[in-house]
Amino acid sequence: MNGLIILGSGRNGKTTLATLVAKKHKCILIHTDCLMTAFQEVFPHLEIAHLQSTDNGKESFARFVSTYAETILGYGDMNVVIEGGILSLEQARNLFDPKVFKIVVLGCPNATPRQWFDAVRKNDTDKEPTFYFTNEKLLEKAQHNIDRSKQMFAECKKHGIETLDTFSNRGEVFSDFVNKTKFSQRPGTTSERKIGLENYINQHVNK
- Examine residue 150 and state whether it is found in any structural domain, yes or no: no
Res. 74: pLDDT tops 80? yes
What's the structural domain count of the chain? 1
What pLDDT, on the 0 to 100 scale, is given for residue 45? 87
β-strands 101-107, 3-8: how paired? parallel
- Read off the pLDDT of residues 127-147 as tens digits, 9 standing for 90 and up: 888 999 999 999 999 999 999
In percent, the amount of the chain with pLDDT more than 70 equals 89
Residue 196 placed within a domain: yes
Q: Is residue 136 part of a domain?
A: no
Task: Give the range of the structural domain holding residue 40, as residue numbers without chain letter.
Answer: 3-109+164-201
Q: What is the pLDDT of residue 198?
A: 55
The answer to whether residue 178 is domain-embedded is: yes
pLDDT tens digits, 84-140? 989 999 999 999 999 999 999 999 999 999 999 999 999 999 988 899 999 999 999
What are 145-151's contacts with CB under 8 Å, separation 24+? 145/9, 145/10, 145/11, 145/12, 145/107, 145/108, 145/116, 146/108, 146/109, 146/111, 146/112, 146/113, 146/116, 148/9, 148/107, 149/8, 149/9, 149/12, 149/107, 149/108, 149/109, 150/107, 150/109
Q: Is the model's pLDDT at 194 over the cut of 80?
A: no
pLDDT value at residue 55:
85
Please give the backbone phi and psi of residue 37, each rounded to the nearest 5 degrees, phi first: -60, -40
DSSP 129: G
pLDDT(53) > 90: no
Q: Does residue 18 sit within a domain? A: yes
Q: What is the CATH number of the domain that holds 177?
A: 3.40.50
Question: What's the chain's average pLDDT?
Answer: 90
Over 50: is that where the pLDDT of 83 sits?
yes
pLDDT range class, residue 195, cuts 50, 70, 90: very low
pLDDT, one tens digit per residue, over 150-189 is 999 999 999 999 999 999 999 999 999 999 999 998 765 4
50 located within any domain: yes
Residue 79, domain member (yes or no)? yes
80 neighbors 1 (Cβ within 8 angstroms): no
Q: Is residue 120 part of a domain?
A: no
Q: What is the pLDDT of residue 182?
A: 95
> Distance (Å, rounded) from C-alpha 27 to C-alpha 59?
25
